[in-house]
Chain A
Amino acid sequence: MTARLYAFAAITALAGLSLLWLALQLPGSAEVTTLVGPRTWPLVILILMLALLALMVALLALRGPDQFVGSDETPPEAAAAVTPEDAAVAHDKAPATGLRYLGVLAATIAYTVAMSFTGYLPATAAFAAVVTVILGERRPLRVALTTLIAVLLVAVLFDRLLSIPLP
């Protein structure tokens, strides 16, 4: 968790500093007709954000990551209310690789690109089938059924009923 929090602080600070540099290029109050120029608001917000990031890093170094998880905020009676779950609740094992989300994200990016070239219907059908398989479904009938539901949803709801112009 500590590494993740430091990574968040570093990336946000980098983005914040880049935007701060851009904000400094904006006209100030003296250069425009309004009393407060377009630079003031983003400048103040970015400085506040960078100060909070510095405070976060200092607290992280001094007191560790637990304070950012907020586990001590859950009242004991609320925690007791949901543990343990009923025996009828079954959890599947998490996928072995843990990188399944990257496959889904890549498929979504491909879908977004493909829609402009093939039109929404073939792209939607291919996307639904591929993501269903990535999410662990192997039975052809179920893959076909999900694909059919997805295509009908887009064609009937978005295209016909809502008359939304699709690529």
Chain B
Amino acid sequence: MIQDLLGGFGVVLEPMNLLILASAVLIGFVGGALPGISGVILVVILLPVTYTMEPTGAFMMLTAIYASSVFSGLITAILYRAPGTPEAVMTALDGYPMTQKGEAGKALGIGILSSAIGGLFGTVVLIVATPMLADIALQFSSPEFFALAVLGLTVVASLGGNLILGIIGVCIGLVIASVGLDPLTGQTRFTFGSLHLMSGVNLIPVIIGLFAISEVLKRCQEGDVHLGNKAFSIRIFDWPVFRQIRTTLLRSSLIGTVIGILPGIGASTAAMVSYSETVRWSRDRTRFGKGAPEGVAAPEAANNAAAMGALVPLFALGIPGSGTTAIILGAFIVHGLTPGPTFMTGNSELIYAVFVGLLIVNLLILVLSKPFIAVLSKLLDVPYSVLGPIILICCVIGTYSVQNAMMDVWLMLAFGLAGFLLEKINFPLVSIILGVVLGPIAESELRRSLAMSRGDASIFLDRPISAVLLAIALLLVAGTLLRPLLRRRRDARTEAENA
């Protein structure tokens, strides 16, 4: 591993790759901080651009945007009580009161330091845990891979929104994934006589349509958001403050990483759990919600650690731990790569370059965030009448460029309109992507497993690992179904006690 890691440093420290990383960090900062754009949308828009790049640079870029956009959501959460990302919601709870007390610079400094430490902690665990998990997974066969794909699909249970809608979304994605030639028999399915559809529906028009085009159309219906300028001075390294938050940083980084690794639980939950734990462990709980430094440190360390932790199941097992990692998994598939245990052994240079890249990204957050926030105050008022057309042009040209096919652009527009309309009923769009990305793996492994057992479906329960994975998937779905019932019962009991 040490040798692979040194090789990774060698790749990342090439001037071109360092330039890619620094640009990606700045792009991610913009994604997390500017209203109207998000890290996910930037990853989606840049997906076609990376198609022409060499895979190592492409994935260093995409993962760096992902990591830095999780960090930059804290800026508007602290300054304006308007989180740039869902992961930064809890940061506003104590960050904004600090701004009201005239301590915006101190709160931002704590947020930056906590994000970097949480991110570094999560990345170290990622580097250590991924090869270990992949080694175990090397013994997997088709039934285990099918069970893994099912477990990946149950991530839908944690996406928020209604579970039935989420599973319908997964089914829609699975049907889209079955378009084209059947991989085992060569029979065409749902192609409607189109030669273009014989090779299946390309992932890029689906992802760009559902996430970028639908978002632009949604923003066209809403008014623009303007953020006024604020004056503050950031101090990142403040020894007395660091002493005050160091235990919180360690605990929250650990909680965040563990939650991130678990499939189906995202960085937002990690931030929430670590905030609650920090309050629970505090000697003076009354300070929280009124501008306690630990209240900023806990969610920021946890959400950045969780974002890195979520990459462990992605690289080691090939299953996404969250919605954004489902899109990153899609990016790998677009590049003709399938993450998983065998991928680790055959592509160690790429994997370790990405790992080292993430280490450097978390250090770059410390270096670049201060000047970025100073520049950001001048960028905050870019109107959507400028951003909107540029995003649309990138989507159209980018989608066309992947296969030089106008058909892909039409598909993208159709998915964009569908995504826009589906958002009107709070439909979890990521569920469709999960289905499209994991569908081919699930189908082929299911058919191979049944071929192995001569059609006996009990093979999935006879093999302990696949049985355990399927049980976890079932528990995740059952937990989501039972949680509202338990909450209602608890609320009713509390009301009865109060009465």
A-to-B contact residues, CB < 8 Å: 1, 4-5, 8, 12, 19, 22-23, 26-27, 32-38, 41-42, 45-46, 48-49, 52-53, 55-56, 59, 67-70, 72-73, 75, 77-78, 80-86, 88-95, 98, 100-101, 103-105, 108-109, 111-112, 115-116, 120, 124, 127-128, 131-132, 134-137, 142, 145-146, 149-150, 153-154, 157-158, 162-167
Residues in A with CB closer than 8 Å to B454 are: 35
Instruction: Please choose the segment from B81-89, B131-139, B466-474 that sits at the chain A interface, where 4 or more of its residues have CB less than 8 A away.
Output: B81-89
Q: Please tell me if the beta carbons of A164 and B223 are within 8 angstroms of each other in the complex.
A: no
Minimum CB distance partner of A1 in chain B = B425
Q: Please tell me if the beta carbons of A82 and B425 are within 8 angstroms of each other in the complex.
A: no
Instruction: Give 15 CB contacts A-B under 8 Å.
Output: A4-B424, A34-B447, A34-B451, A35-B447, A35-B455, A48-B171, A73-B161, A81-B92, A85-B81, A86-B79, A86-B81, A90-B228, A127-B393, A132-B388, A135-B388
Which residue of A27, A98, A146 contacts B390 across the interface (Cβ within 8 Å)?
A146
Which residue of B230, B389, B451 contacts A88 across the interface (Cβ within 8 Å)?
B230
Q: Please tell me if the beta carbons of B410 and A27 are within 8 angstroms of each other in the complex.
A: no
Interface string of B143-183 (1 = CB under 8 A from A): 00000000000000000111011011001101100100010
Which residue of A48, A101, A115, A163 contacts B221 across the interface (Cβ within 8 Å)?
A101
Residues in A with CB closer than 8 Å to B420 are: 101
Which residue of A81, A94, A104, A146 contacts B93 across the interface (Cβ within 8 Å)?
A81
Given contacts A41-B443, A81-B92, A86-B79, 7 further A-B contacts (CB under 8 A): A45-B171, A56-B165, A91-B226, A101-B220, A104-B216, A134-B220, A146-B389
Q: Does B394 contact A (CB under 8 A)?
A: yes
Residues in B with CB closer than 8 Å to A12 are: 168, 172
Given contacts A82-B82, A86-B79, contact A70 B168 (CB under 8 A): no
Residues in A with CB closer than 8 Å to B225 are: 89-92
Minimum CB distance partner of B192 in chain A = A22
Q: Please tell me if the beta carbons of B393 and A124 are within 8 angstroms of each other in the complex.
A: yes
Q: Please tell me if the beta carbons of B389 and A135 are within 8 angstroms of each other in the complex.
A: yes
Total CB contacts across the A-B interface at under 8 A: 257
Minimum CB distance partner of B167 in chain A = A52
Q: Please tell me if the beta carbons of B165 and A41 are within 8 angstroms of each other in the complex.
A: no
- How distant is the Cα of A32 from the Cα of B451 in the complex, in angstroms? 13
Residues in B with CB closer than 8 Å to A164 are: 52, 397, 401
Q: Please tell me if the beta carbons of A86 and B82 are within 8 angstroms of each other in the complex.
A: yes
Q: Please tell me if the beta carbons of A84 and B81 are within 8 angstroms of each other in the complex.
A: yes
Residues in B with CB closer than 8 Å to A101 are: 217-218, 220-221, 420
Which residue of B386, B388, B396, B425 contacts A4 across the interface (Cβ within 8 Å)?
B425
Residues in B with CB closer than 8 Å to A48 are: 167, 171
- How distant is the Cα of A94 from the Cα of B400 in the complex, in angstroms? 32
Q: Does B343 contact A (CB under 8 A)?
A: no
Q: Please tell me if the beta carbons of A82 and B392 are within 8 angstroms of each other in the complex.
A: no
Residues in B with CB closer than 8 Å to A34 are: 184-185, 447, 451
